[in-house]
Amino acid sequence: MNRPLSAIAGGATGIAVMSLLLLFLEVETRSNLAIFEAVARFAGMPGNVTFGFVLFVLAGVFAWPLAFMALEEYIPGGPDPATRGMVLAAVLWVVFVLTGRGDLSGGLLAIYVIFTLLAHLCYGFLLGAVYGRLTSEGPVESERYDPSDVSQ
Amino acid sequence: MGVISVLKEIPGLLVVTWALLGLAIYAGYRQNWQMRSVAADGGYLSGLGFKSEKPAGIFRWLTTVDHKDIGVLYIVFAAGAALWGGTDAMMIRTELFTAGTDVWSAETYNALFTTHGLTMLFFFVTPAFTGLANYFVPILVGADDMSFPRINAIAFWLLPPAFFLVRGGLITEVMGKMLAAVGVRWELLFSLRPPTLGWTLYAPRSIIVSNPQVDLVLLGLHLSGLATIMASVNIIVTIFTERDENITWANLDIFSWTLLTTSGIVLFAFPVLGSALLMLVADRNFGTTFFAVEGGGPILWQHLFWFFGHPEVYILVLPAFGLVSLILPKFAGRKLFGFKFIVYSTLAIGVLSFGVWAHHMFATGMDPRLRASFMAVSLAIAIPSAVKTFNWMATLWGGNVRWATPQIFCVGGIMTFIIGGVTGVFLASIPVDLVLHDTYYVVGHFHFIVMGVITFAAFAASYYWFPLLTGRMFNRRLGRIHGYLSIVGVFVAFLPMILIGYGGLPRRSASYPGAFEALQQLSSFGAVIIGIGALIWLTNLVQSYRLGPIVTDADVWNLRETGQFSREWQWFEEQLEDRTKFRR
Ligand code: HEM
Ligand SMILES: [Cu+2]
Please enumerate in sequence order all residues whose Cβ is within 8 A of that of B249, keeping only pairs 6 or more positions apart, or say none: none
Alpha carbon of A140: minimum distance to chain B alpha carbons (Å):
5
Distance of alpha carbon B437 from its chain centroid, rounded?
25
Crossing angle of helices B455-464/B476-502, nearest 10°?
180
Query: Does ligand 1 come within 6 angstroms of the Cβ of B451?
Result: yes
Residue A145: strand, helix, or coil: strand
pLDDT in tens, chain B (584 residues): 444 544 444 444 555 656 666 666 565 555 544 433 333 344 444 445 444 556 667 888 888 899 999 999 999 999 999 999 999 999 999 999 999 988 888 888 999 999 999 999 999 999 999 999 999 999 999 999 999 999 999 999 999 999 989 987 666 777 777 777 667 777 777 777 888 899 999 988 999 888 888 999 999 999 999 999 999 999 999 999 999 999 999 999 999 999 999 999 999 999 999 999 999 999 999 989 999 988 888 999 999 999 999 999 999 999 999 999 999 999 999 999 999 999 999 999 999 999 999 999 998 888 889 899 999 999 999 999 999 999 999 999 988 999 999 999 999 999 999 999 999 999 999 999 999 999 999 999 999 999 999 999 999 999 999 999 998 999 999 999 999 999 999 999 999 999 999 999 999 999 999 999 999 999 999 999 999 999 999 999 998 888 888 888 889 999 998 889 999 999 999 888 877 665 44
How many residues are present in chain A? 152
Query: Does ligand 1 come within 6 angstroms of the Cβ of B116?
Result: yes
Give, in order, the Cα–Cα distances in Å from B112 to each of A29, B120, B256, B516: 9, 12, 35, 21
Write down the ipTM of this complex: 0.88
- Which of B92, B118, B486, B537 has the most ligand 1 atoms within 8 A of CB, as the residue to mutate? B92
Quick one: CA torsion of B363, B368, B371, B372, rounded to 10 degrees? 130
Query: Does ligand 1 come within 6 angstroms of the Cβ of B201?
Result: no
Give me ligand 1 centre to Cα B132, in Å. 23
Q: In chain B, how many H helices and how many E strands?
A: 24, 1
Task: For residue B569, list chain A residues with Cβ-Cβ distance below 8 A.
Answer: none
Please enumerate in sequence order all residues whose Cβ is within 8 A of that of B337, keeping only pairs 6 or more positions apart, or say none: B391, B392, B394, B395, B397
Q: Which atom of ligand 1 is nearest to the CA of B112?
A: 13
Q: What is the pTM of this model?
A: 0.89
Q: How far apart are CA B283 and CA B312, in angstroms?
A: 24
Task: For residue A106, list chain B residues with Cβ-Cβ distance below 8 A.
Answer: 98, 102-103
The residues pairing with B550 across neighbouring beta strands, listed in sequence order, are: A144, B472
If you ran DSSP here, which 8-state letter would residue B550 be given? E
Please give the residue of chain B at the shortest CA–CA distance from A103.
B8
Give, in order, the Cα–Cα distances in Å from A80 to each of A1, A83, B41, B384, B577: 18, 6, 14, 50, 29
Put simply, the chain B residues between 472 and 501 with a CB less than 8 A from any chain A CB are 472-473, 476
Put simply, the chain B residues between 532 and 571 with a CB less than 8 A from any chain A CB are 535, 542-543, 546-553, 555-558
Q: What is the gyration radius of the CA atoms in chain A, in angstroms?
A: 17
